[in-house]
């Protein structure tokens, strides 16, 4: 951990959370609810990102075309700052190794990507374009490959973006699953 | 690597090009943001600046053909080509005299058919209507074009415009300085040296100016650092720059439409690196028009201390079909800054404080901001 991160965690009174979770003692994690509204955003993000890296590693699961793992926590629909705080809160208070999904259609890919640095480790679809609209069915011609579907192009773009951030994308598609637990800003589900 | 850079900054040493590159490449983004925020806090505390400004684009006719530009129409008479009569331009201000902006920000295409007196009259007219208003007008690219097109030296162009009311220069037109990029994306307008020379002369004449960088297209991180290093060198020489404004490239409707747009993380990273590398720039601006209000709010925790202004009226983006608001009210800007846990400070163009608002705890998203998630489409800023 960099000194600067240690410094902001210390200032926010969050260092103890690291120790508690490292010992597997989520029950000892004591964070007053107001902390998540008022604490320095970067301190919350830094703690959540450290926990994410320790507990679930660098893999980002991208779930397209079906509901995600029913055990996952899903953050959705919040505007920027609140979304980041909600993702961090889910990571800090959630079970060890929990998957924290961000609902891309309701927050947009831009902010979903930022949430991945604030504790989230999964994106849930359907795939959308830059403007947040569903991807068309079409194809584009790629030199040396011929026609490639827009969905595949999107997948490649997401892989590239995540790799640039040091993360590894794993795409999941297919069979139905039940609705996931939904974590909202006002909920205390975790 | 970040630890070594932190130590360097703590020792008061200046970052070099290799450090700049390492910052762009670091995967420790939260560490980068925290470091940039620390420097911003040391310089400005929890203050975040904004102003009340009016954007006017008097012509989109342009003889240049920048690849990234969705705004310019090559010739008068082309569909969509538009040049305002002076009275039409002045009316933009007259309609707002009940709550007048403190600044008028004017940028245009490079119109080969207008007389120089058009621009002088334009400024004089605004000053006649509102003598107090600050005129931040014409990028270095436009000013260089004026010099070449009307057969004057840069200093003469500036002198005449200052006599007409010019108060400072916006920062557009810098794009990417490195010739490997500049020659590919905007070969037929002012070169990097010409852009820098216009600002050098303006600073010597006592004018302040801003600087920009258009990022996220074909340039590499090395090109970005080179760009920042050139700006820093000129700032060391003149001290005339006020703010640095990174501008995110947007691919819609222009000659680079096949490229993806830069991501929000790239936006935040670029702002943070700019704060750290441009140690002699007072202000780093999160331009909400191009970032969208949501990402601009996050940027206030990543080294930015300014969010730009109300804009009030803006035609470039809306003409391109953007769904984003074409302006935010002063109340909306104040609340956006307060939501981000900062203290809103209304400034004038030269960063003199006009009104300090309190830092109050405002629940995030408590204010209704139109299209707050929308990311504006950056088409041109000459
Ligand atoms: S960016 Fe400016 S100079 Fe270039 S084509 Fe557009 S209006 Fe003309």
Instruction: Provide the 8-state DSSP code for A134.
Output: B
Does the structure's ipTM exceed the value 0.85?
no
Which residues from chain A sit within 8 angstroms of residue B297, using beta carbons? 80-81
- Whole-Å CA distances, A60 to A53, A112, A165, B249: 11, 12, 11, 26
| Mean pLDDT for chain A overall | 80
B208 phi/psi in degrees, rounded to 5: -95, 160
Confirm or reject: Cβ of B189 under 6 Å from ligand 1.
yes
Are residues A2 and B2, on separate chains, in Cβ contact within 8 Å?
yes
Instruction: In whole angstroms, give the CA distance from residue B238 to residue B232.
Output: 10
Cβ(B29)–Cβ(B152) below 8 Å: no
Angle at B273 between CA A112 and CA B202, to 5 degrees: 125
> pLDDT (tens digit, 9 = 90+) per residue, A43-98?
999 999 999 999 999 999 998 776 666 777 888 777 788 899 999 999 999 899 99
Angle at A165 between CA A177 and CA A147, to 5 degrees: 65
Q: Tokens 């979304």: give the residue.
A: A83
Q: Tokens 């990028």: give the residue.
A: B139
| CA proximity to B237, closest of B199, B273, B274, B266 | B199
Are residues B301 and A37, on separate chains, in Cβ contact within 8 Å?
no
Q: What is the edge-to-edge ordering of all strands in the sheet holding B283-284?
A: B53-56, B103-106, B134-137, B166-169, B208-215, B241-248, B283-284
Kindly report whether the global pTM for this prediction surpasses the value 0.95: no
Whether the upstream peptide bond of residue A126 has omega within 30° of 0, thus cis, is: yes
Q: What is the pLDDT of residue B350?
A: 98
Q: What is the CATH architecture assignment of B2-356?
A: Alpha-Beta Barrel (3.20)
Q: Give me the percent of chain A exceeding a pLDDT of 70.
A: 84
> pLDDT (tens digit, 9 = 90+) per residue, A7-21?
999 998 898 888 888
Q: How far is the CA of A50 from the centre of ligand 1 (A)?
A: 44
Which residues from chain B sit within 8 angstroms of residue A42, using beta carbons? 30, 33-34, 37, 301
Q: Is A48 on the interface with B (CB under 8 A)?
A: no
Q: Is A163 on the interface with B (CB under 8 A)?
A: no
Angle at B264 between CA A50 and CA A2, to 5 degrees: 25
Q: Between A47 and A135, whose confidence is greater?
A: A47
Q: For residues A129-145, give the mean pLDDT.
A: 75
Instruction: In whole angstroms, give the CA distance from residue A174 to residue A124.
Output: 13
Q: What is the pLDDT of residue A182?
A: 40
E strands, A69-150, are: 73-75, 100-103, 122-124, 139-142, 146-149
Low-confidence ranges of chain B (pLDDT < 50): 314, 316-323, 368-373, 375-382
Angle at B377 between CA B84 and CA B340, to 5 degrees: 115
pLDDT at A132 over 80: no
> pLDDT (tens digit, 9 = 90+) per residue, B17-44?
999 999 999 989 999 999 999 999 999 9
Instruction: In whole angstroms, give the CA distance from residue A160 to residue B170.
Output: 35
Q: Tokens 């926990």: give the residue.
A: A51
Q: Which atom of ligand 1 is nearest to the CA of B60?
A: 7
CB half-sphere exposure, B166, CA atoms < 13 A: 25
Q: Quote the minimal CA–CA distance from B82 to chain A in Å.
A: 28
Q: What is the pLDDT of residue A68?
A: 66
Q: Is A103 on the interface with B (CB under 8 A)?
A: no
Q: What is the pLDDT of residue B323?
A: 45
Q: What is the pLDDT of residue B363?
A: 65
Instruction: In whole angstroms, give the CA distance from residue A66 to residue A51.
Output: 27
Question: For residue A183, what are the β-bridge partners?
Answer: A75
Which residues from chain B sit within 8 angstroms of residue A37, using beta carbons? 361, 363-364
Instruction: In whole angstroms, give the CA distance from residue A51 to residue A100.
Output: 12
- Residue B234: Cβ within 10 Å count: 20
Give the B-side interface with A, CB within 8 Å: 2-3, 6, 27-31, 33-35, 37-38, 260-261, 263-265, 268, 292-295, 297-298, 301, 323, 339-341, 361, 363-365, 372-373, 375
Q: What is the pLDDT of residue B184?
A: 96
Instruction: In whole angstroms, give the CA distance from residue B139 to residue B145.
Output: 10
Q: Give me the percent of chain A exceeding a pLDDT of 90.
A: 29
Q: Which residue of A has its CA nearest to B10?
A: A4
Q: What is the pLDDT of residue A148?
A: 86
Q: Is A79 on the interface with B (CB under 8 A)?
A: yes
B125 phi/psi in degrees, rounded to 5: -65, -45
Lowest-pLDDT range, A128-137, A175-184, B140-149? A175-184
């Amino acid at each position: 951990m960099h000194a600067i991160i240690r410094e902001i965690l210390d200032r926010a009174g969050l260092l103890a959370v690291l120790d508690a979770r490292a010992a597997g003692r989520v029950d000892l994690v004591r964070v007053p609810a107001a902390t998540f509204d008022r604490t320095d955003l970067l301190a919350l993000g830094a703690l959540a990102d450290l926990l994410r890296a320790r507990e679930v590693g660098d893999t980002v699961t991208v779930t397209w075309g079906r509901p995600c793992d029913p055990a996952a926590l899903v953050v959705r629909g919040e505007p920027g700052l609140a979304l980041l705080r909600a993702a961090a809160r889910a990571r800090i208070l959630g079970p060890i190794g929990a998957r924290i999904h961000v609902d891309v259609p309701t927050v947009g890919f831009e902010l979903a990507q930022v949430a991945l640095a604030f504790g989230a480790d999964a994106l849930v679809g359907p795939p959308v374009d830059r403007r947040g609209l569903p991807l068309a069915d079409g194809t584009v011609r790629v030199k040396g490959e011929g026609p490639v579907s827009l969905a595949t192009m999107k997948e490649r773009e997401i892989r590239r973006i995540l790799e640039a951030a040091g993360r590894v994308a794993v795409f999941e598609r297919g069979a139905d699953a039940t609705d996931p637990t939904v974590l909202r800003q006002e909920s205390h589900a975790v | 690597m970040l630890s070594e850079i932190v130590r360097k900054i703590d020792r008061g040493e200046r970052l070099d090009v290799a450090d700049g590159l390492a910052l762009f490449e670091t995967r420790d983004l939260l560490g980068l943001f925290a470091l940039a925020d620390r420097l911003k806090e040391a310089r400005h505390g929890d203050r975040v600046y904004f102003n009340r400004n009016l954007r006017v684009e008097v012509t989109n006719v342009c003889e240049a053909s920048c690849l990234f530009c969705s705004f310019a129409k090559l010739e008068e008479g082309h569909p969509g080509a538009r040049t305002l009569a002076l009275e039409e331009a002045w009316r933009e201000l007259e309609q707002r005299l009940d709550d007048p902006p403190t600044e008028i920000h004017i940028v245009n295409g490079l119109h080969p058919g207008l007389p120089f007196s058009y621009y002088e009259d334009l400024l004089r007219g605004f000053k006649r209507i509102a003598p107090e208003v600050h005129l931040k007008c014409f990028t270095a690219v436009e000013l260089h074009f004026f010099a070449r097109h009307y057969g004057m030296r840069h200093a003469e162009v500036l002198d005449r415009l200052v006599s007409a009311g010019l108060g400072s220069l916006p920062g557009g037109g810098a794009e990417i300085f490195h010739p490997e990029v500049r020659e590919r994306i905007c070969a037929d307008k002012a070169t990097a040296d010409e852009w820098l020379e216009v600002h050098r002369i303006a600073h010597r004449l006592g004018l302040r100016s801003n600087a920009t960088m258009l990022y996220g297209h074909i340039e590499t991180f090395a090109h970005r650092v080179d760009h920042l290093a050139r700006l820093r060198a000129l700032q060391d020489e003149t001290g005339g720059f006020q703010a640095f404004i990174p501008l995110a490239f947007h691919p819609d409707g222009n000659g680079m439409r096949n490229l993806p747009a830069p991501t929000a993380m790239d936006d935040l990273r670029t702002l943070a690196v700019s704060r750290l590398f441009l140690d002699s720039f007072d202000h780093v601006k999160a331009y909400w028009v191009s970032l969208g209000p949501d990402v601009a709010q996050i940027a206030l925790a990543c080294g930015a201390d300014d969010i730009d202004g109300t804009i009030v009226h803006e035609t470039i983006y809306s003409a391109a079909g953007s769904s984003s608001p074409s302006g935010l009210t002063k109340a909306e800007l104040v609340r956006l800054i307060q939501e981000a846990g900062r203290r809103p400070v209304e400034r004038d163009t030269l960063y003199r404080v006009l009104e300090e608002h309190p830092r109050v705890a405002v629940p995030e998203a408590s204010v209704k901001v139109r299209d707050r998630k929308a990311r504006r489409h950056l088409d041109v800023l000459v």
